[in-house]
Amino acid sequence: MMLHPELLRAARTAPAPLLRATALLALVTLAHAGQAVLLAVTLADIARGRTGRLPVLLGAVGAVLVLRAILVWRQRVAAADAGARIRSNLRDELLVQLGRLGPAHGDATRAGALRATVVDGVEGVNTYLSRYLPQLAVVCVVTPVLLVGVAVVHVWAAVVLLAAVVAALSVPRLWDRALAARGKEHWDTYEGLAADYLESLQQMPTLRATGAVRRRREALEERSRRLHRATVAKLRVSLVDTALTDLAIQAGTLGAVLLACASATAGRATGTGSYLLLMLASECFRPLRDLSREWHAGYVGVSAADGIAALRTARPAVPDTGTLAPAWPSPPAVVFSGVRFAYPGAGRPALDGVDLECPAGRTTALVGPSGAGKSTLLALLQRHHDPDAGAVLLDGLDVRELSLAALRRSIAVVSQDVYLFAASIADNLRLADPGATDERLAAACRDAGIHDEITALPDGYATVLGERGATLSGGQRQRLALARALLCDAPVLVLDEATSAVDQRREHQITEALRRAARGRTCLVVAHRLAAVRHADRIVVLDRGRVDDVGDHRTLAGAGGTYAALATADLSRRGER
Ligand X SMILES: Nc1ncnc2c1ncn2[C@@H]1O[C@H](COP(=O)(O)OP(=O)(O)OP(=O)(O)O)[C@@H](O)[C@H]1O
CB 546 within 8 A of CB 356: no
Q: Quote the CA–CA distance of 194 and 188 in Å, as a whole number.
A: 10
Q: Would you say 14 or 372 has its CB closer to ligand X?
A: 372
Question: Residues 119, 123, 129, 133: is their CA dihedral positive or negative?
Answer: negative
Q: Would you say 375 or 473 has its CB closer to ligand X?
A: 375
Rounded least distance, CB 418 to ligand X, Å: 15
In DSSP terms, which residues pair with 412 in a beta bridge? 493
Residues 6+ apart with CB under 8 A from 421: 427, 428, 431, 465, 467, 469
CB 195 within 8 A of CB 307: no
Q: Would you say 169 or 318 has its CB closer to ligand X?
A: 318
Q: Quote the CA–CA distance of 284 and 248 in Å, as a whole number.
A: 12
Distances (CA, A) of 460 to 119, 420, 453, 481, 533: 34, 16, 9, 16, 31
In DSSP terms, which residues pair with 340 in a beta bridge? 352, 389
List interacting residues with ligand X (CB under 6 A).
107, 343, 346, 350, 368, 370-376
Beta strand 389-394 with 363-367 is: unpaired
Question: 471-505 burial string, b = 16+ CB within 10 Å, else e?
Answer: bbeebbbbbbbbbbbbbbebbbbbbbbbbbbbeee
Report the length, in residues, of the chain: 577
Q: Would you say 445 or 566 has its CB closer to ligand X?
A: 566
Rounded least distance, CB 106 to ligand X, Å: 10
Q: Quote the CA–CA distance of 308 and 313 in Å, as a whole number.
A: 8
Strand order in the sheet with 538-543: 411-414, 492-496, 522-526, 363-367, 538-543, 546-551
If we measure between CA atoms, which residue out of 484, 388, 494 comes closest to residue 436? 484
Rounded least distance, CB 23 to ligand X, Å: 51
Q: Would you say 307 or 545 has its CB closer to ligand X?
A: 545
Rounded least distance, CB 460 to ligand X, Å: 35
Rounded least distance, CB 373 to ligand X, Å: 4
Rounded least distance, CB 377 to ligand X, Å: 7
CB 280 within 8 A of CB 36: yes
Q: Would you say 337 or 375 has its CB closer to ligand X?
A: 375
Q: Would you say 255 or 368 has its CB closer to ligand X?
A: 368
Rounded least distance, CB 543 to ligand X, Å: 9
Side chain identity at residue 263, one-letter code: S
CB 27 within 8 A of CB 89: no
Rounded least distance, CB 108 to ligand X, Å: 8
Instruction: Report the Cα–Cα distance between both ends of the chain, in Å, rounded.
Output: 67
Q: How far is CA 372 from the centre of its chain?
A: 34
Q: Quote the CA–CA distance of 114 and 116 in Å, as a whole number.
A: 5
Side chain identity at residue 534, one-letter code: R
Q: Quote the CA–CA distance of 222 and 192 in Å, as a whole number.
A: 12
Strand order in the sheet with 389-394: 351-358, 334-341, 389-394, 397-398
Q: Quote the CA–CA distance of 404 and 316 in Å, as a whole number.
A: 11
Rounded least distance, CB 193 to ligand X, Å: 25
Rounded least distance, CB 431 to ligand X, Å: 25
Q: Would you say 373 or 387 has its CB closer to ligand X?
A: 373
In DSSP terms, which residues pair with 526 in a beta bridge? 366, 496
Q: Would you say 316 or 371 has its CB closer to ligand X?
A: 371
Angle at 183 between CA 180 and CA 186, to 5 degrees: 155
If we measure between CA atoms, which residue out of 545, 25, 508, 46 comes closest to residue 291? 25
Rounded least distance, CB 416 to ligand X, Å: 7
Q: Would you say 271 or 369 has its CB closer to ligand X?
A: 369
Beta strand 389-394 with 397-398 is: antiparallel
Q: Would you say 266 or 346 has its CB closer to ligand X?
A: 346
Q: Would you say 107 or 417 has its CB closer to ligand X?
A: 107
Q: Would you say 352 or 427 has its CB closer to ligand X?
A: 352
Q: Would you say 241 or 497 has its CB closer to ligand X?
A: 497
Q: Quote the CA–CA distance of 291 and 298 in Å, as a whole number.
A: 10
Q: Would you say 295 or 341 has its CB closer to ligand X?
A: 341
Rounded least distance, CB 414 to ligand X, Å: 14
Rounded least distance, CB 487 to ligand X, Å: 26
Rounded least distance, CB 376 to ligand X, Å: 3
Q: Quote the CA–CA distance of 376 and 251 in Å, as a whole number.
A: 68
Rounded least distance, CB 311 to ligand X, Å: 19
Q: Quote the CA–CA distance of 109 and 120 in Å, as a whole number.
A: 17
